[in-house]
Amino acid sequence: MPKQTSVLLIYTGGTIGMIQDIKTGQLRPFDFAHLTEQIPELKKFDIRLSAISFDKPIDSSDMSPDVWLKIAKIIESNYSRHDGFVILHGSDTMAFTASALSFMLQNLQKPVILTGSQLPIGIIRTDGKENLITAIEIAAAKHKGKPVVQEVCIYFEYRLYRGNRTHKVNAEHFNAFQSPNYPVLAEAGVHLNYNSAALFRPAKSKLKIFTSLNADIAILKLFPGITPNAVNAILNTKALKAVILETFGAGNCSTQAWFLDALKSAAKKGILILNITQCNAGSVEQGKYETSAGLESIGVISGADMTTEAAVAKLMFVLGNFKTAKEIRKQMKVSLRGEMTLAADRFKSKEF
Ligand code: ASP
């Protein structure tokens, strides 16, 4: 008899795991050991489900690198026993966690699917049931004996996304996520339709987890009128190793001398500056306009079409695991887990 597919659920917290207390009407986390009472449909699956729940489930606004480490270690120690993993997580910072795990879990050859919901599972109109049921189905899906998905993804409202390509874009709609710069990996309708050409394929080596993350980074989001005080306060943050410069459009910024001088002196101190666009979609193209030409000469690295969430996670990962400035810069310029489209690939796919 073929071995039954096994999926491990990891419950970290968030709205999905909440039920309404009958007496007080307040939302509280439900006991995960009684998951099938809340979703009896799960009993119909021919999948062996196991669950690990955080002792104290958290709202994902309290997510931190320490918790990412805890999740990565749970996956590592259960890796050989399960065919796939579903992480239940608040949607607010889900894109950050998915990005971080994508970097921390190198050579991942099994699905790690994050999901959550906008309405608690104990509420009649919840979106949580469908999200969880389909996430489990994706985590168990195999083709010719191999997992269909071999990367960290987010499943939300009938769509499967590459985790490090997503943004949370809506605090109200069930359709809360987008992957503006990378195709959807699967759509759930009557059938689960996978976009096989878009799925990530890792190196066929043993899973390696990286446990060192360096959070000495900052985000400097530009706006017309930003003052030298604000810019200098961020660039002079104690122990700062890298800054994400959230620029306008295709990576543009002010050409005022005080601003470029501030960036220059930060770069001279060894602070890495990464250019990420404030736009929801599209890519940084340093040098396309005069307003970004100066950045190139300062040594600012183009983040191409990376999301801010992926940029935060990648910087923490790269700073935590690579020693020399040369090596750190090299890693930031390549796509490690499918998190960015390099210029060469961007134009390859277009027909003129
Ligand atoms: N505040 C919640 C969280 O991110 C929202 C959600 O679960 O979607 O934990």
Using pLDDT thresholds of 50, 70 and 90, give the confidence band for residue 346: low
- Mean pLDDT for 186-203 is 95
Domain residues for the domain of 39 are 5-209
Question: Within a 13 Å sphere around the CA of 307, how many CA atoms are in the beta-carbon half?
Answer: 26
Residue 50 has what pLDDT?
93
Q: Mark whether 259 and 111 lie in a shared domain.
A: no
**Could you say which of 164, 192, 209 is where a domain stops?**
209
350, part of any domain: no
Please answer whether residues 39 and 31 qualify as being in contact, where contact means their C-beta atoms are separated by less than 8 angstroms: no
Q: Which tops the pLDDT comparison, 348 or 234?
A: 234
**Could you say which of 159, 189, 209 is where a domain stops?**
209
Residue with CA nearest ligand 1 atom 4: 90
CATH code for position 263: 3.40.50.40
Residue 282 has what pLDDT?
95
Query: CB burial class (10 A; 0-12, 13-18, 19+) of residue 170?
Result: middle
CA 162 to chain centre: 8
* Number of domains making up the chain: 2
Which atom from ligand 1 is nearest to the alpha carbon of 93?
Answer: 4
Q: Mark whether 261 and 305 lie in a shared domain.
A: yes
Residue 103 has what pLDDT?
98
**Could you say which of 172, 193, 209 is where a domain stops?**
209
Residue 351 has what pLDDT?
47
The answer, yes or no, to whether any atom of ligand 1 lies below 6 A from the CB of 128, is: no
351, part of any domain: no
Our mutation pick for probing the ligand 1 site, out of 19, 63, 64, 91, counting the most ligand atoms within 8 A of Cβ, is 91
Q: Mark whether 175 and 314 lie in a shared domain.
A: no
Q: Mark whether 176 and 226 lie in a shared domain.
A: no
125, part of any domain: yes
Bridge-partner residues for 167, per DSSP?
178
Q: Mark whether 232 and 340 lie in a shared domain.
A: yes
pLDDT digits 0-9 by tens, 109-164: 999 999 999 998 878 899 999 999 999 999 999 999 999 999 999 999 999 999 99
pLDDT digits 0-9 by tens, 223-280: 999 999 999 999 999 999 999 999 999 999 999 999 999 999 999 999 999 999 999 9
Residue 352 has what pLDDT?
43
Which atom from ligand 1 is nearest to the alpha carbon of 59?
Answer: 9
352, part of any domain: no
Using pLDDT thresholds of 50, 70 and 90, give the confidence band for residue 34: confident
Which atom from ligand 1 is nearest to the alpha carbon of 15?
Answer: 7
Q: Mark whether 21 and 160 lie in a shared domain.
A: yes
Q: Is 247 a catalytic residue?
A: no
Q: Mark whether 160 and 296 lie in a shared domain.
A: no
Q: Mark whether 289 and 322 lie in a shared domain.
A: yes
Q: Mark whether 102 and 226 lie in a shared domain.
A: no
159, part of any domain: yes
Q: Mark whether 105 and 125 lie in a shared domain.
A: yes
Residue with CA nearest ligand 1 atom 6: 90
Q: What is the DSSP string of 106-156?
A: ET--S-EEEE--SS-TTSTT-SHHHHHHHHHHHHH-EETTEES--SEEEEE
CATH code for position 172: 3.40.50.1170
Q: Mark whether 84 and 191 lie in a shared domain.
A: yes
| d(CA 171, ligand 1 centre) in Å | 9
What's the whole-number average pLDDT of the chain? Answer: 93
- Mean pLDDT for 46-50 is 93
pLDDT digits 0-9 by tens, 53-107: 999 999 999 999 999 999 999 999 999 999 999 999 999 999 999 999 999 999 9
Q: Mark whether 74 and 139 lie in a shared domain.
A: yes
Bridge-partner residues for 302, per DSSP?
275
| β-pairing verdict for 242-247 and 217-221 | parallel
